Structure 1
């Protein structure tokens, strides 16, 4: 019998591998779980195995070994049913260039078996959210790259899938459209419980929207979790607190900070500003120590490690170990 945790997963990959005929290993014993309503970011350099993994999940490439479960279905045995429940927005979008935006979206809606009124209702709602109403009757060949990205996102909305797999979805979008897209994904997750796999090189976007991330290298995903969990793995769980104080007189602030348990390093950046490396968030202890020493405390800000720092540290570690 499936456990409660297993039943909450909408995607489960177990020991998935893909080896091509020339013995090239594209994916190597990869396991992954995507939970209902979760946004999971997959990251890594080109050739790391991300696209091959996605293709196997969609039933477009047969795995050499391992198992794939998508909403309780095997994409190789029931590919059409999987495609009805999973929306895929590839990096290289494939539209019928001589058809209008509306006709392309209607083609997708027909595949879902929807009647005319429902198709039209979904299409008009989707293009309104993506601000494409004024170009809906134009042939797609006349669309800019950014407009085609928005049309692809509209196609995801038309399908109303349980799972969306988005490959570089904000590529070519202007900052305003990018912000709208990220807001859209948050709302789909919150309001409809949609699960999303997001592949992107824009690490700030991934960090802002993803619940967990996985780092790919040489066909494997050896590191996955929240950004804080990955930072703990790579940096030992330490964080930095930037402390700003007022006039110190003859008081040695660095010495005061050094007496606090959990402080491992202190750097004075400039007059009155100290960067303190700590094992956990001990801001109350810092405040107490300074106030007890009659030091005026102006501000304290926790600087957690960014996804960019995690990404750089991981791939440096991989490179150094090679």
Structure 2
């Protein structure tokens, strides 16, 4: 159990389901999200992410199960939940003919914040999201990236405990994405705000999320940090180690395969020549898979074989590898789906 998970969950989804006629949009979802963490809900469009968010906000009722947010049942107490949660949809709406400052003050007043406090808080948030210089400009002139940053300020105006961001980077240029993700990360770290981020952009999720949930066809098929998800992959080796060796030949390959715990040895494409006596022999890069950490045994095997070892690197599965194994019809998806 991590330090985060030792705390009481701020969001608890218990056997949460939602159906529309014969169609199941969300299927028996169980999920805990803890105070101060950034949790990424990752899945293709139509996976049920937005429906899940709407149930968490009390905006649509589940067919069964319950959503507890900040200790409140979202179905029975939607207004109390909304006071504690800031929600930014994928397309934030503002009054186009009013300034950024006016829009924020309006939101603050709707949340019963006194006018003087609303204005000072709005100005502070505009500074925080990098929009202070355009505070008095009409939002109708804003780019998509500027609108999303204003949207972030808008959900923060009531000092929420939790913010839920539905596809926050959709339609933003790469630099705008980088800036927005940095803002989200800083808010979570510095303010202790819990963030639920829904997205289908896996690289963006990997950049800032503490944990990730893989969502497909209404089901959460895996949840955890990258290392945990790697270990859950069906049929994937638990450990992969990359070696740079010289020379590469059949006897060295045999020696590596003989190390306890090794399950496979693969020469990377173009990774070297098989003739150890060739004057043009190249450095070979080899990936060794195994059921345990075999670094010590591999190092000894290379030296005992009379070869030279130039590099040893543990390889981690990235979210890209994990995503494709689950979503592109791999064995894990068949087993878990």
Structure 2 length normalisation: TM-score? Answer: 0.85
Q: Which 5+ residue runs of structure 1 have no aligned equivalent?
A: none
Shift of 1:101: 0.9
1:82-161 alignment to 2 at 5 Å?
82-161=81-160
- 1:282 aligns with 294
> Can you list the C-alpha shifts for 1:47-90, whole angstroms capped at 9, x where unaligned?
22111110010011111211111111122333222112111111
- 1:216 aligns with 215
1:295 aligns with 2:294: no
1:312 aligns with 2:311: no
Structure 2: distance between partners of 1:267 and 1:173: 40
Shift of 1:210: 1.6
Contact 2:267 2:285 in 1 (8 A): yes
Contact 2:47 2:215 in 1 (8 A): yes
- 2:76 aligns with 77
1:11 aligns with 2:11: yes
Comparing 107-116 with 265-274, which one deviates more in the overlay?
Answer: 107-116
Q: Classify 1:302/1:261 alpha carbon distance in 2 versus 1 (closer, same or farther; 3 Å).
A: same
How many aligned residue pairs are there?
Answer: 317
Shift of 1:319: 7.4
1:264-279 alignment to 2 at 5 Å?
264-269=263-268, 270-271=271-272, 272-279=284-291
Comparing 247-256 with 9-18, which one deviates more in the overlay?
Answer: 247-256
> Can you list the C-alpha shifts for 1:118-138, whole angstroms capped at 9, x where unaligned?
323332232223222222212
- 2:43 aligns with 44
> Can you list the C-alpha shifts for 1:94-118, whole angstroms capped at 9, x where unaligned?
2222221111111222233333443
Shift of 1:155: 1.8
Comparing 60-69 with 208-217, which one deviates more in the overlay?
Answer: 208-217
Contact 1:130 1:151 in 2 (8 A): yes
> Can you list the C-alpha shifts for 1:134-180, whole angstroms capped at 9, x where unaligned?
22212211112221111112223433321111111122333333223
Q: Which 5+ residue runs of structure 2 have no aligned equivalent?
A: 273-283
Shift of 1:212: 1.9
Structure 2: distance between partners of 1:140 and 1:186: 25
SS at match of 2:44: coil
Contact 2:47 2:216 in 1 (8 A): yes
SS at match of 1:77: coil
SS at match of 2:164: strand
Q: Classify 1:294/1:117 alpha carbon distance in 2 versus 1 (closer, same or farther; 3 Å).
A: farther
SS at match of 2:72: coil
Q: Classify 1:251/1:236 alpha carbon distance in 2 versus 1 (closer, same or farther; 3 Å).
A: closer
1:242 aligns with 2:254: no
Contact 1:165 1:196 in 2 (8 A): yes
- 2:25 aligns with 26
- 1:62 aligns with 61
1:179-194 alignment to 2 at 5 Å?
179-194=178-193
Structure 2: distance between partners of 1:62 and 1:140: 33
Structure 1 length normalisation: TM-score? Answer: 0.88
SS at match of 1:159: coil
SS at match of 1:241: strand
Contact 2:129 2:183 in 1 (8 A): no
